[in-house]
Amino acid sequence: MVIRSCNLETVCGPTSTLPKNDLPEVAFAGKSNVGKSSLINAVMNRKSLARVSAQPGKTQTINFYNINDEIYVVDLPGYGFAKASEKERERWGKMIETYLNTSDMIRAVFLLVDIRHAPSANDKQMFEWMDYVGYDPIVIATKADKIKRSQLDKQIKILREGLGATKDTIIVPFSSQTKQGLDTIQDFLAQVIEN
Ligand code: GTP
Ligand code: MG
């Protein structure tokens, strides 16, 4: 996928109206700090268009990045951010849910989980909910540079079982540092654009 242009076109907070876009959208969800914004930068081949932070809870809005006037990549706020108040967590959860429930343009949904750990209850809940709403979530196992190659199969198995995913669910190991898995993700976006 050749990136000719990309820009942050729309930012939605809890009280914003979601945009009625006329291009396909692909959404990236996952717990806070899992690497959503870093992945989106890698996809756009930009260092810091999407804000990245070692502090969880960086992205607190729904951010729509327009790539090539062909597709929107949507950066969702992270869930499960421990330091956020109950009220904030609820608000973000609602935003994510409302977006995934109401946009007509979502063509693919990616769920990011950390390759090093078994999925959390929130991850499992999100996966089940995405599945229930009718998406076929593609799982991205992030921070793959943090494990040894020899651990890869075992970790993928742990993720698959922990999420309750079937053999058919695609799980892509990814690292925004080494760019492992980037080609695969870009291929998904290219497919969305073509269809
Ligand atoms: P929120 O916006 O808080 O929901 O977080 P996020 O999911 O957007 O995570 P973000 O991309 O901001 O990354 C969080 C931290 O993890 C940062 O310190 C990143 O540098 C680091 N990180 C992200 N991806 C990777 C990766 O593939 N490998 C390694 N080693 N670190 C990563
Ligand atoms: Mg973020």
Lowest-confidence region among 78-92, 140-154, 159-173, 181-195: 78-92
State residue 77's pLDDT score: 86
Reported ipTM exceeds the 0.85 cut: yes
Domain extents for the chain?
Answer: 6-194
Question: Mean per-residue pLDDT for 69-95?
Answer: 82
pLDDT category of residue 75 using cuts at 50, 70 and 90: very high
112, pLDDT greater than 70? yes
State residue 68's pLDDT score: 95
Distance 56 CA to ligand 2 centre (A): 8
Question: What is the per-residue pLDDT across 37-61, written as a single tens digit (0 to 9) for each?
Answer: 999 999 999 888 888 887 777 778 8
Lowest-confidence region among 71-80, 102-111, 173-182: 71-80
DSSP 3-18: ---EEEEEEE-TTSPP
What fold, for 6-194? Rossmann fold (3.40.50)
Indicate which atom in ligand 1 lies nearest the CA of residue 76. 4
Cα–Cα distance for residue pair 12/94, rounded to 1 Å: 13
Mean pLDDT, the chain, whole residue set: 91
Question: What is the per-residue pLDDT across 7-25, written as a single tens digit (0 to 9) for each?
Answer: 999 999 888 889 999 999 9
Distance 97 CA to ligand 1 centre (A): 22
Distance 95 CA to ligand 1 centre (A): 21
The answer to whether the CB of 78 is under 6 A from ligand 1 is yes
The answer to whether the CB of 177 is under 6 A from ligand 1 is yes
92, pLDDT greater than 80? no
State residue 83's pLDDT score: 67
Cα–Cα distance for residue pair 112/28, rounded to 1 Å: 7
Who contacts 19 (Cβ-Cβ below 8 Å, separation ≥6)? 9, 10, 12, 64
Who contacts 117 (Cβ-Cβ below 8 Å, separation ≥6)? none
State residue 82's pLDDT score: 63
State residue 161's pLDDT score: 97
The answer to whether the CB of 107 is under 6 A from ligand 1 is no
Chain length of the chain: 195
Cα–Cα distance for residue pair 129/107, rounded to 1 Å: 16
